[in-house]
Structure 1
Amino acid sequence: MIEIERKFLVISDAFKAEAHQKHRIIQGFLNRDPERTVRVRLKDDKGILTVKGLSSNDGLSRFEWEKEISKNDANALLEFCEKGVIDKIRYEVKVNHHIFEVDEFFGDNEGLVVAEVELQSEDETFTKPEWLGEEVTGDIKYYNSQLSKQPYNTWYQ
């Protein structure tokens, strides 16, 4: 149940031509405490409840537990979430033996595009596609829980 991932900014739309899947995701947070973040997600027509623990010091790993719930339950729980909903399209792009999840944000986070790659170990090597930019692993402002309360469009005002 420990998730290990690295996160990067995306510098071009080239990933869209390489994507083998895409999903619309609406998500909110029942709790944004870094020690126990609780997220409700509607991914296309599927509901998902997720609990995440505190990140490691380098931001590479943290506890994650997920449970599929009904679309109706997800919609009901989204009504109880804290202010600030995340709206994005997630593209899945296979690069050699890894799947990059590329999130293109909308609403108050429009203009932000971030890619994550999940790893089996913290020192695992992987191929970086040309559209991958600066690494932002561990930078809390790129966490969805933070983007829901301090959106991208407010960063430079």
Structure 2
Amino acid sequence: MSASGSTADTNRTGRDETEEERADRKWAELIQEVRVAQTGVQILFGFLLTVVFTPRYEDLTDTNKTIYLVTVVLGAAATGALIGPVSLHRLVSGHRVKPHAVVWASRLTFVGLLLLLATMTSALLLILRVATHDGYVPWLVAGVVAWYLLCWFLIPMVVRQRNSLK
């Protein structure tokens, strides 16, 4: 039996932990995950910010400039969503709302991953359009997006579903 006086904590999670202990564990796991995504999006966003200041930017077609602007905005939004859990934790820390904070931080992280997917897709489209003008670019981008979807979402969902049936 858990400290809260019920066996529900153990039955749901397979662990003997209170709601607060579970929130602490989930928070630590989430922050580790966010660190990986944050680093990637911040490097990509930093690189994107420099493109507009290069001489080659003026040579881009209007379509490519639009793709660039969309990519920068998506990168900024992804950065905001992935840094959001840190700010959330800082602002609610000590107010006894960690279980709720974990839920909201998890949601922000998921949105951040979706925005990172969109940013990576848009950046790849722009780079390949500038590097080559061949008609296979959309197909190549679609293939990479399919790979991201498989790695980031489909495999985890299959693992979750298969293990939840046990």
How would you bin the TM-score normalised by the shorter chain? under 0.3
Return the structure number with greater relative CO, CA threshold 8 A, min gap 6: 1
Return the index of the structure with the highest Cα Rg. Answer: 2
TM-score by length of 2: 0.21
Greater strand fraction, Structure 1 or Structure 2 = 1
Greater helix fraction, Structure 1 or Structure 2 = 2
